[in-house]
Each structure stands twice: as C-alpha cells, then as structure tokens.
C-alpha cells in the first residue's frame, strides 16, 4: 500500500551536534523525495529534495541520502542551531508518474542551546 514511515517521532540534540531523521517508503516506483520543515503555527516549507537518479544531495548544513534498493532515505542536519527546532516531514511521490505526494508522520526536533 501507500506508506511512508518516519523515525524518530521526537529528537533532542545539543546545539552544534548532528541530527538524522530516517524514512522508508513502500512504493518501488517512487522517484521524488522532498523534505519539509514546519515551524510552530506555520506552513510546511521545502528545505531539500532528491530524485531517484541521485544518491546524495547537500545544501550547506543539510544533506539527504537515498537508498532505492532498501527504499529508505535520510535527512542529515549538521552543526544544529536553535532555529533548526521544528517539525520535519519526509515525503515521497507515489504511483506511476509520481502524481501523488504522501507524507511521513513527522519528527519534532529540539535543539538545546
């Protein structure tokens, strides 16, 4: 079925440490994997995305890795800062042609100063 599993549900790190959030998906045809950040009371906003023809993508302190064989992908945030505190959602396009985007349940990240 259509499913995106996300772990952990809550993550607490010390400022400057790294944070890793992992997701698995069920549809082997999925080929687009965006990550969204949602601050309290605000809209989800895209922070990085990766397509299936790439194994890793980096943008400053944020990186995403993709393992299509194992059907999992991960978000890595290095040198975390208090302003990184938010809920992070992974998502995957599903179905032939990737016409539908399914979200994970979210990870609440706390960065302690």
Partner 1 sequence: EAGVAQSPRYKIIEKRQSVAFWCNPISGHATLYWYQQILGQGPKLLIQFQNNGVVDDSQLPKDRFSAERLKGVDSTLKIQPAKLEDSAVYLCASSLTPNNSPLHFGNGTRLTVT
44 or 73: CB nearest partner 1:
44
Q: How far apart are CA 100 and CA 92, in angstroms?
A: 8
Q: What DSSP string describes 15-34?
A: TTS-EEEEEEES-TT--EEE
Which residue in the set 74, 80, 85, 93 belongs to the binding site for partner 1 (CB under 8 A)?
93
Interface with partner 1 by CB under 8 A: which range of 14-22, 54-62, 78-86, 103-111?
A: 103-111
Q: 102 exposed, middle or buried (CB, 10 Å; 0-12, 13-18, 19+)? A: middle
Lay out the site mask for partner 1 across 47-76 (x = CB under 8 A, - = otherwise). --x-x-------------------------
Q: Maximum Cα–Cα distance for the chain, whole Å?
A: 44
Interface with partner 1 by CB under 8 A: which range of 14-22, 40-48, 58-66, 73-81?
A: 40-48
Q: Is 99 in the site for partner 1 (CB under 8 A)?
A: yes
């Amino acid at each position: 079925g259509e499913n995106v599993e996300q772990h952990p549900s809550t993550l607490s790190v010390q400022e400057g440490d790294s944070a890793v959030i992992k997701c698995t998906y069920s549809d082997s045809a999925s080929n687009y994997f965006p990550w969204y950040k949602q601050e309290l009371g605000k809209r989800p906003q895209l922070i990085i995305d990766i397509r299936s023809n790439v194994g890793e993508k980096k943008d400053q302190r944020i990186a995403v890795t993709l393992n299509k064989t194992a059907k999992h992908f991960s978000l890595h945030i290095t040198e975390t800062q208090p302003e990184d505190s938010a809920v992070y959602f992974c998502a995957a396009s599903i179905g032939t042609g990737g016409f539908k985007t399914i979200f994970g349940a979210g990870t609440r990240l706390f960065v302690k100063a």
